[in-house]
Structure 1
Amino acid sequence: MNDNNFLSSGMVDPVEMLPGVHRRTMVTTDDMMLVEITLDKGAVVPMHRHANHQVGYVISGEIELTIDGVVRVCKPGDSYAMPGNVDHRALAVTDCLVIDIFAPPREDYR
């Protein structure tokens, strides 16, 4: 273990993915990646899919997720899972902060 195994969000500049949606790619291993995502109220991540498995946890706010046709509003303390190649989208009901983990890591998020 060395200092490269630790990272503070203040050390990572946010990247705007879409209007009102920003990510900070945090720690990454060969097998997985942890990403901090902030969404402004009303921001939308349109329906999409990727080969990576994705799990997430809502830190703050409310986010409406559609996963494989099922719609749920997730609140702080809620978690979710998206198998690879499953259609999903997100709508920020309020300003929100979520943590997503991707396996394997998303090359486009490095």
Structure 2
Amino acid sequence: MFIYNNDIKLEDLGAGVSRKVLAHSENMMAVEVHFEKEAIGPMHSHPHEQLTYVLSGAFEFTIGEQVKIVKAGDTMYKEPNIEHGCVCLEAGVLIDNFTPMRKDFV
């Protein structure tokens, strides 16, 4: 299956964050998340495994007890049920991959 980014509407989540749900199946999902500078991804957890790739920008991420600055090209792994969140330091885009898919996103 082919998913064309230009065909997907950017969903405004408020507070400087928006997203596009990209390709997905019951087993996995890719999501593009856009952040304006100083936007916050609030601390949260979920039962999904998650890989996050920083496509652009800079972010301060908290994963569990660790706090690190990440920039374009960096990747993070979040195990199921770990608390995580971020603050956008420089406007950017994240690519989140979940397994299984996030049914609450569709």
Q: State the TM-score bracket (shorter-chain normalisation).
A: over 0.9
Q: Is the 8 A contact 1:18 1:45 kept in 2?
A: no
Calculate the aligned-residue CA RMSD, in Å.
0.8
Structure 2 regions of 5+ residues with no counterpart?
Answer: none
SS where residue 6 of structure 1 aligns?
coil
Does 1:106 find its partner at 2:105?
no
Match of 2:71 in 1: 75
- CA distance in structure 1 between the aligned counterparts of 2:25 and 2:42, rounded to whole angstroms: 27
TM superposition score normalised by structure 1: 0.93
- CA distance in structure 1 between the aligned counterparts of 2:12 and 2:69, rounded to whole angstroms: 23
Correspondence for 1:57 among 53, 56, 71: 53
1:3-59 deviations in whole A, cap 9, x for unaligned?
xx1111111111122311111000002210000011000000111111111101111
How high is the sequence identity, in percent, across the aligned residues? 32
Q: Number of aligned pairs?
A: 106
- CA distance in structure 1 between the aligned counterparts of 2:84 and 2:13, rounded to whole angstroms: 16
Higher strand share: 2
1:51-102 deviations in whole A, cap 9, x for unaligned?
1111011111101110001001111110000011000011100101110001
TM superposition score normalised by structure 2: 0.96
